[in-house]
A and B are shown apart, each in its own frame.
Chain A
């Protein structure tokens, strides 16, 4: 049975890879199997995790037995009913006459999400970034253990360069994303420096991500050559 599963997996893997040549019936078959099975799989996962695991077990909690053999009872969490009601309202779109009610839970989700992320983004993208950018560029005062007194310690050339990259990159990046002023003159020049920083960052990110994708390719090649064909040991 395990051998059969390996053959099926290899057949489907090659079917998906055949898309590199062109769209073909083998790819269409693999695609349909992939989409159908994954949609069914996620339905089952979401049902058992959310509807049964969280909602049903939350409203009708089962008694647990701890390590000492005692029966532990849990209180029902009736807040889950709010989610259940909102979820049920979503299904009302199946009834055209009252389908408009399904907009309420949608509005609730969008409103809550916006409110929640506003503070998170504001805190991480602005506050922390500004705090981390306020730094001395050339050196700082540190405690000299020999004399037990504070003394000025100049940063190394590499540290000064690193600090400059951080400060200039952050400032010019902010200038680039400032939408209330046309990118002309000195402001435009500063924004151009900002986009240079952004593109260099993207270049580094591109290379890093491509390498991680290579590991995925190696994983599939390893499966085909080792698990399926047994050519590589």
Chain B
């Protein structure tokens, strides 16, 4: 007869198994793994599997400031169950204390540490998070970020830039040898001489507005290049020009350009620094001043060439109101509609950049423009071939076409 106080073998087995599970699971079961103290509250948490196969690799083609982590998410990180609420990344820097560097949502399986330093050694670990507990993965091997001097991921960009650059050099050489390079007429630029002539006949000044950006904007550079050609005509015709600017560097560059044009025209004594005046860096303060100048000085011609923002329509509409002939140009798509609505001629995007070559007929500028056209021709051909190949390859499942599309996408991919 069995005693009532004795424990059956089945219960004994269950008790021993539970104890063993608690002992084995304890290191990954604690609420705060770094304090080493396991509390009763920890042991009532739902237990989930830790992430596995954690590996850390040096990020390729960087300056030694990135390390990539990849892991297989916890097998309990399943849709709808929701026991795993996220992942926590720990990092140990040069044998120091492990610190949390990121918290990621559930399902995450990779992370890029972008705050590493050259010469340091790192060890990582990833913990699966539940409501109140963490389940740590294995530790990674020690890893140090490395610096690569050449970014080979941009090799195709380099090759295509080399192709276009080579075409530019080729056409510059052709132009230098005296061969006439054809460039189609650009309507807005054909009107430049007429606009300057009109101001001369009317005895009124010309207003040149180079936008509100600094010399680090390529549109400002393009506008100033056109200013070089316009100011030569102005110096030849002995017309008055006024150029209010909102950036000090643009003022300096504008003065240099106009001064040089007057010297070339043989009239250096006619040049004055007052032709180019700084107003203010403040966008609408500048606009208020330029609007005032327009209605008071009543220029016969207004050039708006450069980078413009919300002030574009205010300036162009005021120029329209005073009856000036207006030639505008910018590469900002949001502002071009206003110029088209309010100005007589508008240089759209690329035309602004082509303008300098067209106006100057300088071999370097013309060669550069023709070289860029080679780039555009290549792009057009690639688009036609790529779209046809992609459409035929997908519609009739032609593997060679799909391979061609993959190759083209790889070449033109910049990521």
A residues adjacent to B (C-beta < 8 A): 16, 19, 22-23, 27-28, 30-31, 34-35, 37-39, 41-42, 46, 90, 93, 102-103, 106, 109-110, 113-114, 117-119, 121-124, 126-131, 133-141, 152, 167, 170-171, 174-175, 177-183, 198-199, 201-203, 205-206, 208-209, 213, 216
* Chain B residue contacts of A126, Cβ below 8 A: 160, 375, 379
Q: Is the Cβ of A114 less than 8 Å from the Cβ of B218?
A: yes
Cβ-defined partner of B338 (8 Å) among A138, A178, A206, A216:
A206
Could you jot down 10 A-B contacts, CB within 8 Å? A126-B160, A126-B379, A130-B379, A133-B387, A134-B382, A134-B390, A174-B380, A177-B376, A205-B333, A208-B334
Asked if B337 and A203 sit within 8 Å, CB to CB, the answer is yes
Given A39-B278, A109-B249, A136-B390, output 13 extra A-B contacts at Cβ < 8 Å: A34-B284, A35-B279, A122-B161, A126-B375, A130-B383, A136-B393, A152-B397, A174-B383, A177-B350, A177-B376, A178-B373, A178-B376, A179-B358
Supposing A113-B221, A126-B375 touch, asked if A16 and B390 sit within 8 A by C-beta, the answer is no
CB atoms of A113 and B216 under 8 A apart? yes
Which residues of chain A have C-beta atoms less than 8 A from B379's C-beta? 126, 129-130, 174
Decide: A206 and B341 in contact? CB cutoff 8 A. yes
- Residue B413 interfacial (CB < 8 Å): yes
Alpha-carbon separation in the docked complex, A171 to B183 (Å): 20
A177 to B409, CA, bound (A): 23
**A75 to B337 CA separation, bound complex (whole angstroms):** 50
Separation of A183 and B373 alpha carbons in the complex (Å): 14
Q: Which of B163-180 contact A (CB under 8 A)?
A: 164
Shortest Cβ gap from B192 to chain A (Å): 17
Q: How far, in whole Å, are A167 and B382 apart by their CA atoms in the complex?
A: 12
Contact B391 A137 (CB under 8 A): yes
> For residue A188, which residue of chain B has the nearest CB?
B184
Q: How far is the CA of A102 from the CA of B413 in the complex (A)?
A: 41
User: Is the CB–CB distance between B280 and A38 below 8 Å?
Assistant: yes
- List residues of chain B with CB within 8 A of the CB of A180: 182-184, 370, 373
Query: What's the Cα separation between A130 and B394 when bound, in Å?
Result: 19
Residue in contact with A109 in the complex, picked from B215, B285, B335, B397, CB distance below 8 Å: B215
State which of B1-9, B66-74, B83-91, B290-298 sits at the interface with chain A: B290-298
State the Cβ distance, A145 to closest chain B Cβ, in Å: 14
Residues of B within 8 A of A203 (CB): 337
* Structural contact, A31 and B383, CB atoms closer than 8 A: no
Please state if A30 and B412 are interface contacts (CB–CB under 8 Å).
no
Do A42 and B280 form a contact, CB below 8 Å, given A174-B380, A177-B349?
Answer: yes
> What 0/1 readout, one digit per residue, does chain B (378-415) give for beta carbons within 8 Å of chain A?
01101110110111011101000000010011001110
Distance A206 CA – B252 CA, assembled complex (angstroms): 34
CA distance A131 to B280 in the complex (A): 42
Contact A23 B288 (CB under 8 A): no
Interface centre among B183, B186, B292, B349 (most CB of A within 10 A): B292
User: Is chain B's binding surface mostly helix, strand, loop or mixed?
Assistant: helix
Shortest CB distance B168–A (Å): 11
B412 close to A131 (CB less than 8 A): yes
A167 and B383 contact, Cβ closer than 8 Å, known pairs A106-B215, A135-B390, A180-B183: yes
Interface size class of B (residues with CB under 8 A): 35 or more
Q: Are B395 and A31 in contact (CB under 8 A)?
A: no
Residues of B within 8 A of A (CB): 157, 160-161, 164, 182-186, 215-218, 221, 249, 252-253, 256, 278-282, 284-286, 288-289, 291-292, 295-296, 310, 313, 333-338, 340-341, 348-351, 354, 358, 369-370, 373, 375-377, 379-380, 382-384, 386-387, 389-391, 393-395, 397, 405, 408-409, 412-414
State how many angstroms separate the Cβ of A211 from the closest Cβ of chain B.
12
* Minimum distance in angstroms from A133 CB to a CB of chain B: 5
Q: How far is the CA of A185 from the CA of B360 in the complex (A)?
A: 28
Q: How far is the CB of A224 from chain B (nearest CB, A)?
A: 17
The distance from the CB of B150 to the nearest CB of chain A, in whole angstroms, is 14
6 nearest interchain CB pairs?
A38-B282, A134-B386, A38-B285, A206-B337, A42-B281, A136-B394
Which residues does chain A contribute within 8 Å of B376, judged by CB atoms?
174, 177-178
Contact B414 A179 (CB under 8 A): no
> Which residues of chain A are within 8 angstroms of B256 by Cβ–Cβ distance?
103, 106
In-complex Cβ contact of B157 among A35, A123, A139, A213 (8 A): A123
Residues of chain B within 8 A (CB-CB) of A22 are 295
| In contact, A179 and B279 (Cβ under 8 angstroms) | no
* B285:A34 contact, CB within 8 angstroms: yes
Beyond A131-B414, A179-B369, A213-B310, whether A114 also contacts B221 by CB under 8 A is yes
Chain A proximity of B118: nearest CB distance (Å): 15
- In the bound assembly, the distance between CA atoms of A138 and B414 in angstroms comes to 26
A110 touches B215 (CB 8 A): yes
Known A90-B252, A138-B391, A213-B310: A39·B281 in contact at CB below 8 Å: yes
Write out the residue numbers on chain B whose beta carbons fall within 8 Å of the beta carbon of A174: 376, 379-380, 383
* Beta-carbon contact of A179 and B184 below 8 Å: yes
Q: Which residues of B contact A199 (CB under 8 A)?
A: 340
- In the bound complex, CA of A203 to CA of B333 (Å): 11
